[in-house]
Amino acid sequence: MYAISLGDDGAELRPLDPWHAEEFLAHLDRGREFITQHIPFGANATDVGSARAILQSYADRRAADSGFLHGLWLDGKLVGGLLFRVFDAATGVCEIGCWLEPAGTGRGLVTRGARVLIDWAFEERGMHRVEWHASSANIPSVNAARRLGMTREGVLRESSSHRGVRQDIEVWAVLAPEWRAARARTAHNDH
């Protein structure tokens, strides 16, 4: 399979497949409390079989062209990932999200990896809109959306419950023309 380098610090973006179940479970176990502070991602992965089932569900979604997972590796160690939780090619709308264990934080991995996937969604798949949903309390996730140049479109007040607490969910998005214009400005400024 392929690996996309995210810089000279040993960071890579790779597909996260069912055969990664043991590594995925070990990663979730290392960061479970941190990862599930704001999102339930991976909470049901309690053994290799259940970890494989989560990965298989996304492999099935990838085969159906409706979502997929990519892992973020740092020096050969899985430390987080990105996913298209929703991918609707017919409407041109998708939702990207992320998770990290503590060892992956503060390095720009999510931003660098998301840029690759957003470029792919717009340029290869012809998507028109990429969304990012995050609990207002999840400041690192909100900041990632901001760093990606997304626009905060609104807040779904107390629309989600996590760990028995009602959460406000912020909806951020970027449209293909906005993304292309921002990328062109960045490329122009680099010269």
> pLDDT below 50 — which residues of the chain?
none
Structural domain count of the chain? 1
Q: Quick one: pLDDT at residue 1?
A: 63
Half-sphere exposure (CA, 13 Å, Cβ side) for 26?
Answer: 7
Residues of the domain holding 39: 4-189
What is the CATH number for 133?
3.40.630.30
Neighbours of 164 (CB within 10 A): 5
Q: Quick one: pLDDT at residue 185?
A: 79
Q: Quick one: pLDDT at residue 188?
A: 60
pTM for this structure?
0.90
Q: Quick one: pLDDT at residue 186?
A: 75
Q: Quick one: pLDDT at residue 191?
A: 55
CA 14/CA 70 separation, integer angstroms: 5
